[in-house]
Structure formats: C-alpha cells, structure tokens
Amino acid sequence: MNDLHTLPKAELHLHIEGTLEPELAFELAAKNGVVLPHESVEELRRQYDFEDLSSFLALYYATMAVLRDASDFERLTRAYLERAAAQGLRHVDVFFDPQAHTVRGVALGTVIDGIRAALDAARAELGLTSTLLLCFLRDRPAAEAGQLFDSLGEQLPRIDGIGLDSAEVGHPPALFEEVYARARAAGLHVVAHAGEEAGPEYVREALDVLRVERVDHGIQCLQDPELVDRLVAEQVPLTVCPLSNVRLRVVDTLADHPVLDMLERGLLVTVNSDDPAYFGGYVGDVFQGLRDALGLTDEQAAALARNSVDASFAGTERRREIHAEITEWEGRRAPGRTGSARPGPR
Ligand SMILES: Nc1ncnc2[nH]cnc12
Ligand SMILES: [Zn+2]
C-alpha cells in the first residue's frame, strides 16, 4: 500500500472558514480584542460534538468572528494550504462565505485581499494552484445574494465562481435561480450544496434550475435510483465529504459511508474535507480514514484522485501535470505491497 498523504490530489469542497483551528482562533481573538465564549482551546474543541448541520453552523459562524483584517484571512488560508500540501494537495477550489463577514462590518475586499494573497503565495512557493468560489448563504434572502452580486464591482474578476451553502432544508436551490443565471452570464463557474441533509429533489433543482457544473455533497441522490442513473450518465461530479457526513450525523460511521459504493456504481465522486478544523481531518486524513474504515485500495484512491483533478477548475495543462504525478504515484511500490506488479528481471 502506498502512502495516501503522498498521493497527488485536488480538493473541491473546502470552506476556508472551516479551516480555523482553535489555537489560531484564540490567537486572533487576543490580537483583535474579540472575546470568545470558551475558556480555552480544549474547551472549544469539546464543543465539536454536533447534532446536525445547524448545530455545527452556529459554532462555525460564531468562531469566525475573530477574523477581522486581511492579515487574519491570509494567515488562515496559508495555514490550510501548508497543511493540505503536506497531505498531497496540488490544486484546490476554495469556498468562502462573504455574507458571514460583511454582516460583521468586514469589507468584502478585505476578505478577498487576505485569501488571495495566501493563494498567490502558495502558487509561487508550493506550486499549489487554486481558484476562489464565493458562496451565498441560502438561509439568508435570495435578494441579498443578488445585491451582493451587484456590489462585486472590481472584486468580480478576483473570484472564479459561485456556490451555495449554509442550512439546507427549507432553502431550496430554485430560490437562487436569478443570481445563478447572472453569474453564468458573467462567465463564472457555478456549483451548489445539494443533497447533504435535504433530499434528491434539491439535487435535481441544482442541476435543472441552477445548471451547476458540480454538486456539493449530493449523497442523498442515493434515495432516488433514477437520479443516480442520470448522474452516472451525465458524469456530474459530486464533491463528497465523508468525515463531515459522520460528524454531522448524515451517516452513522465511516464504515457505513457509501462513497466507495458510489465510485463502483460509476458516479463521478471526489473525496473532500469540507471544514477540516471541525470534522477531524484534512484531505489526506479523509483518504486515510477511508482506508482504515473501508479498506480503500491504492487503485480506488488513485481513481478518486483522478476524479478530483478532472472535476476541478484547474486549467487543462495543470490537470495534465497532476495526472502525470498520479501515474507516477501508482507506479511506486511501497514495501510489502501486494498486487499484480512483479519485480523486474535481475
Ligand atoms: N457542510 C456544510 N454544509 C453547508 N454549509 C456549510 N458551510 C460550511 N460547511 C458547510
Ligand atoms: Zn460544504
């Protein structure tokens, strides 16, 4: 078996605010004079026992109050990129939640300046490429999403696409039809969370009304065999987040997670971390978790990594480079590995 942390891979479902580790949260709180309602790092970590998506989101939004200036967003993003690069990450499409910051009086330009500075540095220093996707909060009014899009101005060329996140049930994709049409007309990539907690009809709406290029999560499609057939036929990428699904009680345990069945079924699944600081691991840890719980083979891991590259918003040449690296990884023979490869003639 090869080391999954060295497998070259892309991550397509990553909320940058969800990479805020408690240690950094406390450091930034002290710097910015923000009082966190937790006594210590350990006490904050003890809160990471979630009932569902909403209970997680309450802590996620409250803790990000420590992010105030561009340098905070830059530090946050740098810390994520360094950790993920050490786990084989070669490309990432990064989500951020601007409304969660502008409601607190932090300007959109400040948020983007900080995140972009770190993304640019990682490209130069780590060879790690990226795109930036602005998410609308679906539990806030669709009109507010429209106003945010209108107000982008000089920030528009600094984002690569849009997404839709936050509390899902009761906030169906179709509410956001208009702003998605405008984003598509502006040449942006479009994705949306659908079928995380809500049913297959949300996945259908994301495809038919928002015309998304990928579906984030999407695992509730499994309730609807016809939808599964369609997703296979159209090879719609699904950005599945196994550790997140367990922590938010969408799936009981990692050993029960359907991601490898989905792969075998021909769905274009990718494996991602979602909010790694809260859900127990970065993208390499997710692959390792699947190995420990489900016996993920090198072949399955490489297939998932190839899917992540194919479904990413990296450019054609970059995708080709990462594919070549995956092929090289597959050709490695770790000590004790069994399989079809035989030692060459002596
Ligand atoms: N898993 C998730 N689902 C919806 N919104 C989110 N925002 C951050 N993580 C999320
Ligand atoms: Zn998510």
The CATH number for 327's domain is 3.20.20.140
- Mutation probe of ligand 1 site: the residue of 162, 248, 275 with most atoms within 8 A of C-beta: 275
Tell whether residue 13 is among the known ligand binding residues: yes
**Alpha-carbon dihedral 288, 52, 13, 21, rounded to 10 degrees:** -70
Instruction: Compute, in angstroms, the gap from residue 196 CA to the centroid of ligand 2.
Output: 9
285 among annotated binding-site residues: no
The domain tally of the chain equals: 1
Is residue 339 a part of any domain in this protein?
Answer: no
**Pairwise CA distance, residues 228 & 180, whole Å:** 24
Output the six-digit token pair for 92: 């990432």
Give a yes or no: residue 342 inside a domain: no
Q: What is the ipTM of this complex?
A: 0.98
pLDDT 10s per residue in the chain (346 long)?
999 999 999 999 999 999 999 999 999 999 999 999 999 999 999 999 999 999 999 999 999 999 999 999 999 999 999 999 999 999 999 999 999 999 999 999 999 999 999 999 999 999 999 999 999 999 999 999 999 999 999 999 999 999 999 999 999 999 999 999 999 999 999 999 999 999 999 999 999 999 999 999 999 999 999 999 999 999 999 999 999 999 999 999 999 999 999 999 999 999 999 999 999 999 999 999 999 999 999 999 999 999 999 999 999 999 999 999 999 999 996 655 554 444 444 3
Whether 85 is in a domain gets the answer yes
- Residue-range definition of the domain harbouring residue 195: 4-331
Phi, psi of 161 (to 5 degrees): -175, 180
- Residue 346 domain-assigned (yes or no): no
Q: What is the pTM of this model?
A: 0.96
Within a domain: residue 336? no
In a domain, 345, yes or no: no
Per-residue model confidence (pLDDT) at position 337? 53
Residue 60 CA: which ligand 1 atom is closest? 8
345 CA to centre of ligand 2 in angstroms: 49
Q: What is the b/e burial string over 109-144, where b = at least 16 CB atoms within 10 angstroms of the residue's CB?
A: ebbbbbbbbbbeebeeebebbbbbbbbbbbebebee
Q: Which residues have CB under 8 Å from 265's CB, separation 6+?
A: 228, 232
C-alpha span between 20 and 43 (Å, rounded): 15
Atom of ligand 1 nearest to the CA of 244: 1
Which residues approach ligand 1 with their CB closer than 6 A?
Answer: 15, 18, 53, 60, 165-166, 193, 196, 244, 274-275
Residue 273 in any domain: the answer is yes
Q: Determine which helix (DSSP H) or strand (DSSP E) holds 74, and give its type and residue range.
A: helix 70-85
